[in-house]
């Protein structure tokens, strides 16, 4: 039988015997006289690197998209909070000034030859102006306190120390301030300004029914 490498006068050449005989390819690292196996290995390395880069870029784009969505939600929440905390009240007032001046002069002269002269002058001036004033009202977060003695609702500035249900002493201006006690019934109220100042919290002897210590 004929040699297996020669069939019908055709010689089968393995990949290890094929050489690259063209100019070097800098981007792939392929050099002249590199074997076919070496060329394929370098191309495979480049393809794998490109595939990994595409996968990494896809993940980064996905993460960025999620971050943008979160930031957009935060911006919406901030705008909603600003509308609750700091509404803007616009007050428009107008003023008008008007000045009018009128001058009239009349002269009459008569002689035997019947000569008459009359002169009249009138001047009028009017000035009008309008002014628009914008006022911004800032609201402050406060505790809402119900007085144990009178049931009056008072507000003290929020500081994160006290909680709903706490019994507190508070002072009521002016100087010298009056002292009262009450229960915090809300810690998320917004008013232009607090009207009392909290002095203490959860005093063991302080309860709404403590007549000796919870009095105005």
Nearby residues of 168 by Cβ (< 8 Å), 6 or more positions away: 145, 156, 162, 181, 182, 183, 184, 198, 199, 200, 201, 202
Question: What average pLDDT does range 175-203 have in this prediction?
Answer: 84
Quick check: pTM over 0.75? Answer: no
pLDDT at 122: 52
Nearby residues of 16 by Cβ (< 8 Å), 6 or more positions away: 35, 36, 37
Reported as a single tens digit per residue, the pLDDT across 30-83 is: 988 888 889 899 999 999 999 999 999 999 999 999 999 999 888 888 887 776
pLDDT at 68: 92
Reported as a single tens digit per residue, the pLDDT across 90-147 is: 555 555 554 444 555 444 444 443 444 444 555 555 555 556 777 778 899 999 999 9
pLDDT at 179: 81
Residue spans per domain, the chain: 13-86, 139-201
- DSSP codes of every residue in 69-108: HHHHHHHHHHHHHHHHH--EEEE-----------------
């Amino acid at each position: 039988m004929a040699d297996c490498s020669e069939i019908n006068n055709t010689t089968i050449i393995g990949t290890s015997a094929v050489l690259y005989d063209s100019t070097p390819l800098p981007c792939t690292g392929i050099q002249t006289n590199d074997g076919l196996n070496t060329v394929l290995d370098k191309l495979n390395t480049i393809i794998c690197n490109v595939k990994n880069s595409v996968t990494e870029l896809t993940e980064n784009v996905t993460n960025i998209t999620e971050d943008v969505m979160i930031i957009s939600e935060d911006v919406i929440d901030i705008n909603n909070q600003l509308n609750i905390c700091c509404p803007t009240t616009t007050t428009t007032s107008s003023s008008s000034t008007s000045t009018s001046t009128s001058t009239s002069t009349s002269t009459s002269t008569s002689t035997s030859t019947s000569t008459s002269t009359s002169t009249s002058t009138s001047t009028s001036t009017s000035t009008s102006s309008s002014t628009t004033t914008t006022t911004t009202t800032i609201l402050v977060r406060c505790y809402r306190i119900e007085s144990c003695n009178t049931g009056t609702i008072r507000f003290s500035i929020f500081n994160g120390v006290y909680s709903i249900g706490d019994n507190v002493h508070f002072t009521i201006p002016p100087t010298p301030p009056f002292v009262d006690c009450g229960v915090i019934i809300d810690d998320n109220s917004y008013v232009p300004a607090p009207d009392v100042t909290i002095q203490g919290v959860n005093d063991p002897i302080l309860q709404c029914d403590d007549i000796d210590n919870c009095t105005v």
